[in-house]
């Protein structure tokens, strides 16, 4: 079954939800233009309250190498997610600063985008439908040729469309969601629960309408 990443964690109350429902990953966004932006020190405080077994991912967009390294140290990150125009050269240089897995995000709008993702030098790739988490679903048939890559599926996922996402081929290594499990701009317990239960093949009787 795929792993689950809940991105855009900003508040201590959301940490409580994560600790109870236990996704595999949580994401902290260090991009100042995002409404989910969080300062490294605050992320570090939240990270210290996270239950063991949940891996923390830092999301960056065209950030300076030194800035990424500082966030990794201050926030205690387990993984880096690059959501900008970072190149293979950037990834190679970043490895000189940090010693955690690196994930590169690719916007998928045509077949060649999937080919670029397959040849990425990053440890993981995330396939998304838009820029910087704007919640757009892409044509999943465009990634049918991906082989031999562990990829995170992102872009417009929510508890209602997740079952369909679980039928795509090849199956994703992990599922990434942020605003799709929110209510009033914060993570919603019931939505997070339904998303995780569905991803793990467990039935949920929750009616979210």
Tens-digit pLDDT profile for residues 95-151: 999 999 999 999 999 999 999 999 999 999 999 986 544 567 899 999 998 888 899
- Distance CA(63)–CA(37), nearest Å, equals 14
Q: b/e per residue, 151-179, with b = 16+ CB within 10 A?
A: bbbbbbbbbeebeebbeeeeebebbbbbb
Tokens of 174: 């992990």
Average pLDDT over residues 144-159: 92
Q: Are strands 186-187 and 182-183 parallel, antiparallel or unpaired?
A: antiparallel
Q: Which residue has the tokens 């997610």?
A: 81
Is residue 78 within 8 Å of 100, Cβ to Cβ? yes
- Distance CA(56)–CA(15), nearest Å, equals 11
Average pLDDT over residues 35-41: 97
E strands in 7-145: 25-29, 55-60, 79-82, 102-107, 124-128
Q: Average the pLDDT over each of 1-10, 161-170, 198-207 and give the range with the smallest value.
A: 198-207
Terminal CA-CA length for the chain: 26
Domains of the chain (ranges, CATH numbers): 3-199 (3.20.20.70)
Is residue 153 within 8 Å of 176, Cβ to Cβ? yes
- Distance CA(177)–CA(149), nearest Å, equals 20
- Distance CA(25)–CA(119), nearest Å, equals 24
- Supply the pTM of this predicted model: 0.94
């Amino acid at each position: 079954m795929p792993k689950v990443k809940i991105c855009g964690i900003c508040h201590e109350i959301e940490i409580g939800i994560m600790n109870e429902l236990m996704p595999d990953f949580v994401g902290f966004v260090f991009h100042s233009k995002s409404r989910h932006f969080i300062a490294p020190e605050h992320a570090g405080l939240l990270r210290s309250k996270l239950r063991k077994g949940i891996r923390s991912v830092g999301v960056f967009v065209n950030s300076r190498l030194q800035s990424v390294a500082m966030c990794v140290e201050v926030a205690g990150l387990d993984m880096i997610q690059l959501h900008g125009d970072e190149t293979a050269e950037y990834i190679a240089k970043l490895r000189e600063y940090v010693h955690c897995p690196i994930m590169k995000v690719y916007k998928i709008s045509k077949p060649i985008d999937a080919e670029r993702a397959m040849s990425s030098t990053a440890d993981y790739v995330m396939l998304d439908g838009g820029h910087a988490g704007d919640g757009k679903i892409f044509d999943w048939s465009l990634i049918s040729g991906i082989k031999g890559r562990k990829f995170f599926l992102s872009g417009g996922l929510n508890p209602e469309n997740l079952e369909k996402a679980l039928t795509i081929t090849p199956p994703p290594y992990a599922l990434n969601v942020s605003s799709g499990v929110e209510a009033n701009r914060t993570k919603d317990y019931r939505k997070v629960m339904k998303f995780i239960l569905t991803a793990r093949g467990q039935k949920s009787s929750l009616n979210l309408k």
